[in-house]
């Protein structure tokens, strides 16, 4: 969480920094700030969203500067707690993404030695430590203080007296963008695409001194030679392209995304760990966890490999079965809880596979093998196309492990999704928009599909939405059902159909409005429910994919109907880098 950016070159830094911060807002958006260096250090910082920039911020002078967009961890969102943070004399200024775990001890010590703190943040210890360590060279000061910092950090610092930016990285992403006579640093590549496609990913322990035409990267006192990589993503991929919101654009990209994800995995590129394992544990959070949960149903029934699906945040409390394989699923590749699960695997000599969307993200450095989802950058905080890409990869794993039995089915995935994008959901949206609580129910692999549907609904519409395995509803939640609590259900022909239909009848008997995704020819279901959203596909895999897309659209249109902030839901950030 939090996005940082630095610029040094020939342009005025403040407008560049603000422009980049807008692209980083998905990482946090409760306050923002920039600092530039010319005759001295100038700062502008403010509570609120960087998209509502006031003119003073872009008027800061200087061709070197740093910026930050915040997701508050220590201290409320406020002007004072916004980054950048200064030392006592106002000569050194810092932005930081991550958490300094031992900040309280450091702060007490600094205060006892006469330092004055202005904010409640953990970050503010960094400029004060730099102030103490500074002997005329910012890079050397940074090298001295990082040894004192415990926790995660990507830090950018500038000072009145050094004509450079100094960067340090430990467990928080940081990338350098190499331009012509200008250099950038940022939490990820998306803000840089407008300026350059040549990047260097910094590693944990790196400290870099950045000038317009050169950069030096050190581990301790040893200079590192890091490879410049050319990024294929273009600036268009991070624009809305005529859609009202990134979320809608990303939903509409899914026919292509699913095809790319499926084709990215071949018998040759499938990590061999899959074929050798006795069991699998999937670790993930949020939507990625739901993708893992769906995978469990499919691989167990098709290949007979037992699968556990664990929340990243809970995995540290579990034991690892003998002969296991850990799969960490993470769109961002930076989710702290998922990373800690992968590291636990590393410590126990268990093979690990990362499924991620972000090349060179932290998870790729810790996992033994990586599968890239190829979804392209996802800007909207709510995961949509990355979830579909995860499903694409996982369905292809099942397909490859079962001797390509589903090649023909999977080749229809993009087309099937394209068709449901045209569905009319007005009545269902109307029912959901007036509700305070919505239940999402399904059976078998549709249960986690519904978990994802409920998550999408609650995170962007702010309506309380809960998913239940349909059979569980009678064991308590039934008491909540009434004419005020719509139920969204999947009731497709198949082994669970009869019992699912029975469950829906029981709910209907309590006056509950029902929106069902079902076969378009199912007259019994049509007569029972209030709204039938017709699905025409027959294969389970295609039903999972298409019903997922329907539920994304239901959440999206309900939230727009209610006038919600779609791409940046309150209190959320796209990349959750704290445990
Ligand atoms: C929901 C959503 C989150 C993420 C979760 C894990 O729409 O986006 O629930 O799925 O924070 O993130 P990653 O996949 O980056 O590890």
pLDDT for the residue numbered 270 = 95
Pairing of strands 352-356, 324-330: parallel
105 plus 121 within the same structural domain: yes
**390 Cβ closer than 6 Å to some ligand 1 atom:** no
Domain end residue (candidates: 190, 205, 236): 236
Annotated active-site residue 47? The verdict is: no
Q: How far apart are CA 203 and CA 174, in angstroms?
A: 8
Q: Considering Cα of 234, then 170, then 155, then 64, what sign does the dihedral take?
A: negative
Shared domain check, 402 and 288? yes
- How many domains, the chain? 3
Final residue of a structural domain among 421, 454, 484: 421
**Residues 469, 349 share a domain:** no
Q: How remote is the CA of residue 285 from the centroid of ligand 1, in Å?
A: 6
Residue showing tokens 């430590």: 129
> Domain check: are 9 and 74 in the same one?
yes
Together in a domain, 396 and 522: no
Residue 55: per-residue pLDDT: 65
Q: What is the DSSP letter of 360?
A: T
Domain boundaries, position 573: 423-579
**Distance between CA atoms of 34 and 42, rounded to whole angstroms?**
8
SS3 178: strand
323 and 374 both lie in a single domain: yes
DSSP 502-563: HHHHHHHTTT--EEEEEETT-HHHHHHSSEEEEE---SHHHHHHHHHHHHHHHHHHHHHHTT
Same domain, 177 and 130: yes
Within the chain, how many helices (H) and strands (E) appear?
Answer: 20, 25
C-beta 286 within 6 A of ligand 1: yes
Q: For residues 251 and 265, state if they share a domain.
A: yes
Nearest protein CA to atom 3 of ligand 1, as residue: 286
Does residue 238 line the site of ligand 1, with CB under 6 A? no
Residue of 28, 246, 282, 287 best suited for mutating to test ligand 1, as the one with most atoms within 8 Å of CB: 287
Which of 392, 421, 450 is the last residue before a domain boundary? 421
Written in H, E and C, the secondary structure of 74-105 is CCCCCCCCCCCEECCCCCEEEEEEEEECCHHH
Query: Which CATH number characterizes residue 20's domain?
Result: 3.60.20.10
Q: With contact defined as beta carbons under 8 Å apart, do 531 and 427 qualify?
A: yes
Q: What is the pTM of this model?
A: 0.86
- How far apart CA 173 and CA 186 sit, in angstroms, is 8
Same domain, 519 and 566: yes
Q: Which numbered atom of ligand 1 lies nearest the CA of 382?
A: 7
Q: What is the 435 CA–ligand 1 centroid distance (Å)?
A: 25
> Atom 11 of ligand 1 has which residue's CA nearest to it?
286
In this structure, are 431 and 394 located in the same domain?
A: no
| Spacing, Cα 501 to ligand 1 middle (Å) | 32
Provide the b/e sequence for 491-519 (b: ≥16 CB within 10 Å): bbeeebbeebbebbeebbeeebbbbbbbb
- H-only helix segments in 81-232: 103-112, 125-133, 138-146
CA 260 / ligand 1 centre spacing (Å): 20
Asked if residue 438 and residue 404 are part of one domain, the reply reads no
Atom of ligand 1 nearest to the CA of 387: 10
Same domain flag for 196 and 253: no
- Which segments of the chain have a pLDDT < 50? none
Give residue 500 CA to ligand 1 midpoint distance, Å. Answer: 29
| 2 tagged catalytic | yes
Alpha helices in 201-270 (DSSP H): 246-252, 254-263
Pick the residue whose CA is nearest to atom 8 on ligand 1: 383
Neighbour tally for 484: CB within 10 Å: 13
Q: Give the CATH number of the domain where residue 573 resides.
A: 3.40.50.10490
């Amino acid at each position: 969480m939090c996005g940082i950016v630095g610029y040094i070159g020939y342009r005025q830094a403040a407008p560049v920094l603000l422009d980049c911060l807008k692209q980083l807002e998905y990482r946090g958006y409760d306050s923002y700030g920039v600092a530039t260096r010319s005759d001295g250090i100038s700062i502008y910082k403010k509570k609120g969203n960087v998209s509502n920039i006031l003119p003073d911020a872009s008027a800061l002078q200087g061709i070197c500067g740093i910026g930050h967009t915040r997701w508050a961890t220590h201290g409320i969102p406020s002007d004072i707690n916004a980054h950048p943070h200064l030392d006592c004399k106002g000569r050194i200024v810092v932005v930081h993404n991550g958490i300094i775990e031992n900040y309280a001890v450091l702060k007490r010590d600094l205060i006892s030695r006469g330092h004055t703190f202005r904010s409640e943040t953990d970050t503010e210890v960094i400029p004060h430590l730099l102030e103490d360590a500074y002997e005329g060279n910012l890079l050397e000061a940074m090298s001295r203080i990082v040894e004192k910092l415990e926790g995660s950090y990507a830090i950018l610092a500038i000072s009145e007296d050094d004509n450079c930016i100094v960067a340090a990285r430990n467990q928080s992403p940081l990338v350098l963008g190499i331009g012509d006579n200008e250099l950038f640093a940022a939490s990820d590549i998306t803000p840089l695409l407008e300026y350059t496609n040549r990047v260097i990913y910094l590693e944990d322990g790196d400290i870099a001194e950045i000038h317009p035409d050169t950069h030096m990267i050190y581990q301790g006192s040893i200079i590192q030679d890091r490879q410049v990589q050319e990024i294929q993503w273009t600036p268009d991929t991070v624009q809305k392209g005529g859609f009202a919101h990134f979320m809608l654009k990303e939903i509409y990209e899914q026919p292509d995304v699913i095809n790319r994800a499926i084709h990215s995995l071949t018998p040759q590129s499938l990590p061999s760990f899959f074929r050798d394992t006795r069991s699998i544990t999937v670790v993930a959070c949020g939507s990625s966890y739901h993708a893992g949960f769906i995978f469990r149903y499919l691989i167990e029934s098709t290949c007979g490999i037992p699968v556990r699906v664990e929340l990243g945040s809970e995995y540290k409390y579990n034991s690892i079965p003998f002969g296991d394989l850990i799969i960490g699923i993470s769109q961002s590749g930076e989710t702290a809880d998922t990373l800690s699960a992968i590291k636990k695997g590393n410590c126990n000599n268990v093979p690990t596979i990362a499924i991620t969307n972000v090349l060179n993200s932290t998870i790729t450095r810790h996992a033994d093998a990586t599968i890239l989802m190829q979804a392209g950058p996802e800007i909207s905080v709510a995961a949509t196309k990355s979830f579909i890409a995860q499903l694409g990869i996982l369905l292809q794993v099942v397909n490859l492990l079962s001797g390509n039995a589903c090649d023909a089915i999977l080749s229809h995935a993009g087309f099937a999704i394209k068709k449901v994008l045209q569905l009319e959901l007005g009545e269902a949206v109307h029912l959901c928009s007036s509700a305070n609580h919505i239940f999402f129910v399904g059976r078998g692999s549709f249960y986690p599909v519904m978990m994802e549907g409920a998550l999408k609904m609650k995170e962007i519409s702010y309506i309380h939405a809960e998913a239940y395995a349909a059979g569980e509803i009678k064991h308590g939640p039934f008491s909540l059902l009434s004419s005020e609590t719509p139920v969204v259900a999947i009731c497709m022909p198949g082994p669970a159909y009869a019992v699912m239909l029975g469950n829906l009848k029981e709910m209907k008997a309590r006056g509950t409005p029902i929106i069902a995704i079902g076969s378009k020819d199912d007259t019994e279901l049509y007569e029972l429910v209030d709204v039938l959203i017709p699905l025409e596909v027959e294969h389970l895999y295609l039903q999972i994919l298409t019903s997922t897309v329907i539920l994304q659209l239901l959440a999206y249109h309900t939230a727009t109907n209610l006038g919600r902030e779609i791409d940046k839901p309150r209190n959320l950030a796209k990349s959750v880098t704290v445990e």
